[in-house]
Amino acid sequence: MIRFIVRRLLQLIPTLFGLSILLFIWLRRLPGGPETAILGERGTPEMRAAIRQNLGLDEPILIQYGRFIRRMVRLDLGTSISTKREVTTEFLQRFPGTVELTITAMVIAIGIGIPLGYLAARRRGRFLDHASVGGSLIGICIPVFFLAYILKAIFSENLGWFPSSGRQDPTLGATRITNFFVLDGLMTREWDAAADAIWHLVLPGMALASIPLAIIVRITRASVLEVLNEDFVRTAEAKGLTENVVRRRHVLRNAMLPVATSIGLLTGGLLSGAVLTETVFAFSGIGAFLADSISQRDYPVLMGFIMIIAVVYVLVNLIVDLSYSLIDPRVRVR
Partner 1 sequence: MALLDVEELSVTFARRNQRPVRAVDGVSFSVDAGEVVGLVGESGCGKSVTSLAIMGLLPKQPGLTVGGKAVFDGTDLLKIDDRSRRDIRGRDIAMIFQDPLSSLNPVVPIGIQVTEVLTRHRGMKGEAAAKEAAQLLDRVGIPDPKRRLKEYPHQLSGGMRQRALIAMAVACQPRLLIADEPTTALDVTIQAQILELLKDLVRDSGTALVMITHDLGVVAGMCDTINVLYGGRVVETARRRPLFRQPRHPYTVGLLGSVPRLDAGRGERLNPIPGSVRDLLPWPDGCAFAPRCTRRIDSCVGEPPALVVTHDSRGYRCVNPAPLPGAPGEEVREVVPGSATPGSVPAQAVPDDPPAVPGLAATPSEEDVA
Per DSSP, helices labelled H in 77-190 are: 87-122, 127-141, 144-151, 181-187
Note whether 165 and 281 are within 8 A (CB).
yes
| Least distance CB 240 / partner 1 (angstroms) | 3
- Amino acid of residue 25: I
| Least distance CB 328 / partner 1 (angstroms) | 6
**Nearer to partner 1 by C-beta: 60 or 240?**
240
Note whether 209 and 108 are within 8 A (CB).
yes
Q: What are phi and psi of 124, to 5 degrees?
A: -55, 130
| Least distance CB 231 / partner 1 (angstroms) | 4
Q: Which residues pair with 86 in a beta bridge?
A: 79
Sign of CA dihedral 36, 39, 43, 48: negative
- Give the side-chain half-sphere CA count within 13 A for 33: 16
DSSP reduced 3-state for 331: coil
**Nearer to partner 1 by C-beta: 38 or 252?**
252
| Interface residue list for partner 1 (CB under 8 A) | 218, 222, 225-226, 229-232, 234-243, 245, 249-250, 253-254, 257, 327-330
**Nearer to partner 1 by C-beta: 22 or 245?**
245
**Nearer to partner 1 by C-beta: 228 or 310?**
228
Note whether 318 and 5 are within 8 A (CB).
yes
| Least distance CB 257 / partner 1 (angstroms) | 8
**Nearer to partner 1 by C-beta: 198 or 225?**
225
| Least distance CB 72 / partner 1 (angstroms) | 42
